[in-house]
Structures are given as C-alpha cells and as structure tokens.
A = this chain, B = another copy of it.
Amino acid sequence: MARPRSEDKRNAILEAATEVVAEQGVSAPTARIAKRAAVAEGTLFTYFENKDALLNQLYLDLKADLRGAMMNSYPSAERVPVRTRHVWEKYVDWGVAYPLKRKALNQLGVSDRISAQSREAGMLAFAQVTALMQESLAGGVLKDQPPAFVGAIMSSLAETTMDFITREPAMAERYKNAGFEAFWAAIAAR
C-alpha cells in the first residue's frame, strides 16, 4: 500500500556502484554511490543491507551480465571452433563496450569483500562456457588439464587483449583476432 520498492532505484544504485567502483575501487564511499544514483545516502541501505551486500550483488550481476553477453545468440549448431570464437568475441566485445563494468568486475574480483560463496556462484555461471571448450582440446597441449584451467586461460588472454584494445582502440580488430589466434593455438590440437 505504501510506495513500492522501486526496481529502477535499485538498478540505479547498482549502475552507480559500477561506475564508482570502476573509478575508485571497492573503498569508494557509499555516499558517493548514492549521490551518483541520485538517491539519499540512507536509501542505499533500504535496497542493500550493507556495503558488502551491495558489492557482492554487483559482482554477481556483472558476472551474469558477462555470461549473458557470451551466450547471446550462441551458435549451438556450429562446430567447436566457431562456437569458441563466438564466445571469445562476445567476451572481448563486452569488455570493450562496457569498460566500466569490466573495471568494476576486476576491482571486485581482487577484493576480499567478495565472499567465497559469491565467487563460487560467479564461477558456476562460467562452467557451461568452459565445458564446451573441452572438446577442442583433444590433441592440444592442455588436453590433460582441468576445464577450469582452460577457462582461466581464456579469461586472462581476453583481459590482456582488452587492455590493449583500450589503449589502442584503432587496433581493436587486430588485437581481437591476434588474441584469439593465440588462445586457439594454445588450446587446440595441431
């Protein structure tokens, strides 16, 4: 009967947190997040119990967002190399298109405020992605390593690729291709 809790406001806070955490890291003041979201300082705490809850939720949301991007229009019917490339491209495109999301996600990833539980939940979102890569490994150098290792390698190569694209946007396509080639060479049979 009272004013309902606004999904918009909640999103505004999460978006503001994305920007502010990207800029200042997890030690960014909640007051600044609230201000950026155009809500009162106290309002933040009606949507999130405390700062840690907000940070963990943001981490989960960003992970889910990234996963959504990678799985969007996923070409299930195609062969492994095509599918792998699709995932790679979507990953890199996401990071390039949303540099603040990427930066925030990285800040959160190294922070000790993200709980083990959140990390696990975040990883789960990628299980599917990494699973598919196993198929590529048959004759590759990583054929005996765990899927998570391959997934982590993709992640780290994609991050490196994005770093360079960010610094030299004009070279985006070149880096994106080169990065994938390196990744594919690293995991595929020869």
Q: Mark A170-181, 1 if CB is under 8 A from B, else 0.
A: 000011001001
Q: How far is the CA of A32 from the CA of B160 in the complex (A)?
A: 34
Interface flag for A142 (CB, 8 Å): yes
Closest to A146 in B: B164
Min C-beta distance of A178 to chain B, whole Å: 5
- A2 contact set on B, CB distance < 8 A: 40, 42
Instruction: State the interface size on chain A (CB cutoff 8 A).
Output: 40
Q: A25 contacts B141, CB within 8 Å?
A: no
Interface flag for A76 (CB, 8 Å): no
Q: B160 contacts A156, CB within 8 Å?
A: yes
Q: Mark A105-140, 1 if CB is under 8 A from B, else 0.
A: 011001110000000000000000000000000001
- A140 contact set on B, CB distance < 8 A: 185
Min C-beta distance of A127 to chain B, whole Å: 16
Interface flag for A11 (CB, 8 Å): no
Q: B149 contacts A153, CB within 8 Å?
A: no
Q: A178 contacts B144, CB within 8 Å?
A: yes
Pick from A111, A153, A155 the residue with the most CB of B within 10 Å: A153
Q: Which of A2-56 contact B (CB under 8 A)?
A: 2, 23-27, 40, 42
